[in-house]
Chains A and B, each alone.
Chain A
Amino acid sequence: MVLSGWEAVFFWVFSITALFMALLMIMARNAVHSALFLISTLVSVAALFVLAGAEFVAGAQVLVYIGGVMVLFLFVIMLVNVGAEERGKERLFNSNVQVTATAVLGLLLAFGLVYAINQGVKGINDSRRGDDLAQQRATEQRALPTSATGDMKITADTQRIGNSLYRYASLPFEIASLLLLVAIVGSVMLARTLKQEAAADDVDPEILKEAVAASEERAELESVSR
């Protein structure tokens, strides 16, 4: 695969945006800012997916990650109290030793990975470099059906993924749906309060009342001791 022309320009724009926004994400003081920077990174990565010809995955990335997961993150940030962090009272990072060790490890990892990629792509026989590949893709794209407005081509990417998903990966697909079901039930289980828990289960109301009173008393004691 070789990108050229405007594709190359947009590749660099989006990849540099993704890297900078990721760096800002791990350095932002406010957790909401972190979430917004992560959204920028994810949008840029989705654009990289489009450049690599994976339109369906780019759409899924925008819908699932940005529309679903990041909204969940923002909800949780608003549920927990991060005021101290915003006012600059709390330390943002771990101890200096840990940060230094991480920086050293990160640099080592970067050079190691880039060296490995360098060594690896030498073995890849990319004989059809350059513009003939782009020309071939352009002719392939001209053969695609035109959309109703007449100025776009309809990609066959989604169709191919659907074929592959239902023909060769139907069992993993079903397992994935089961996994999502377990995740839904599990997160509801984890996040509910004692009162909600007791109300849902078939518990003797007397015992329930005692348990709730005891937990409230404990919480009060803890807040007093703090």
Chain B
Amino acid sequence: MLNLLFPALAFFWQTGTGGRMSDVGNSVTHPDLSKFLVIGALLFIIGVAGVLTRRNIIVIFMSIELILNAANINFIAFSRYLQDMGNVNAVAGQVFTVFIIVVAAAEAAIGLGIVIALYRNKETIWVDEIDLLKW
């Protein structure tokens, strides 16, 4: 198990070092763009796992919020990276994030309205019991 675990951890930690294990320590004490991207990717995967495995429709909605947040992390990280590179239009990433937050709020309002209507009609929040369109 440990024999498998250590290469896996090294695989994650050497992100952004170009595969040189000697740079791993430096990449941990100096996290750069790639570390933000990895955190965003892992949050996205956790969100996908939540959507695919949970039965409670409200928790599925929360997982969708998590996925949107993972995308936001990527936007912000690239915005900061471009800013450091001297790009004058780098703030566009932050503006896009604001729009994503707006869309997430609208989506949550509509989705929870649907959940309430569904609960009123079917008296269930388990997604595997909502199978009217299944044959």
In the bound assembly, the distance between CA atoms of A79 and B76 in angstroms comes to 35
User: Contact at B119–A79, with CB atoms within 8 Å?
Assistant: yes
**Would A73 and B116 count as touching, CB distance under 8 A?**
no
B102-132 residues at the A interface, CB under 8 angstroms = 102-110, 112-117, 119-120, 125-126, 128
The residue on B at minimum CB distance from A68 is B105
Q: Smallest CB–CB gap between B96 and chain A, Å?
A: 9
B66 and A90 contacting across the interface, CB-CB below 8 Å: no
Residues of B within 8 A of A76 (CB): 58, 112, 115-116
Compute how far the CA of A73 lies from the CA of B107 in the bound complex, rounded to whole angstroms: 12
- Asked if B56 contacts A22 (CB within 8 A), the reply is no
Q: Which residues of B contact A99 (CB under 8 A)?
A: 53
A-side interface residues, number (CB < 8 Å)? 94
B95 contacts which of A111, A169, A188 (Cβ < 8 Å)? A169
Count: A-B pairs, CB below 8 Å: 267
Give Cα distance in the complex from A49 to B113, angstroms.
Answer: 30
Known contacts A26-B59, A69-B104; A54 and B31 CB within 8 A of each other: no
- Closest A residue to B114 by beta carbon equals A190
A19 x B42 contact (CB < 8 A): yes
Give chain B interface residues in 35-71, CB to chain A under 8 Å: 35-39, 41-50, 52-56, 58-59, 61-63, 65-66, 69
Give Cα distance in the complex from A28 to B58, angstroms.
12
Q: Which residues of A are found within 8 Å of B81, using beta-carbon distances? A: 1, 124
Known A-B contacts A19-B43, A130-B30; the reply to A186 vs B15 at CB < 8 A is: no
In the complex the two chains form, is B29's CB within 8 Å of A53's CB?
A: no
Contact string, A10-43, partner B, CB cutoff 8 A, digits 1/0?
Answer: 0110010011001101101001001100100110
Which residues A196-217 have CB closer than 8 A to chain B? none
- Taken together as a complex, chains A and B put the C-alpha atoms of A187 and B108 apart, in Å, by 9
A81-101 interface (Cβ within 8 A of B):
82, 85, 90-94, 98-99, 101
Q: Are B43 and A18 in contact (CB under 8 A)?
A: yes
Interface size on B, residues (CB 8 A): 80
For residue A184, which residue of chain B has the nearest CB?
B109
Asked whether B33 lies within 8 Å of A121 as measured between CB atoms, the reply is: yes
When the two chains form their complex, are residues A23 and B46 in contact, meaning their CB atoms are under 8 A apart? yes
Q: Does A144 contact B (CB under 8 A)?
A: no
Known: A48-B36, A102-B53, A190-B114. A8 touches B19 (CB 8 A): no
Evaluate contact between A34 and B59: CB separation under 8 angstroms. Answer: yes
Q: A56-B94, A80-B119 are known contacts. Are A190 and B34 too (CB-CB below 8 A)?
A: no
In the assembled complex, B21 has its CB within 8 A of some CB on chain A: no
Contacts of B107 in A (CB 8 A): 183
Among residues of A, the one whose C-beta sits closest to the C-beta of B8 is: A111
Q: Are B47 and A22 in contact (CB under 8 A)?
A: yes
> 11 new A-B pairs (CB below 8 Å) besides A26-B46, A34-B58?
A18-B43, A22-B43, A41-B66, A52-B36, A61-B72, A73-B61, A77-B58, A79-B119, A80-B58, A137-B84, A165-B95
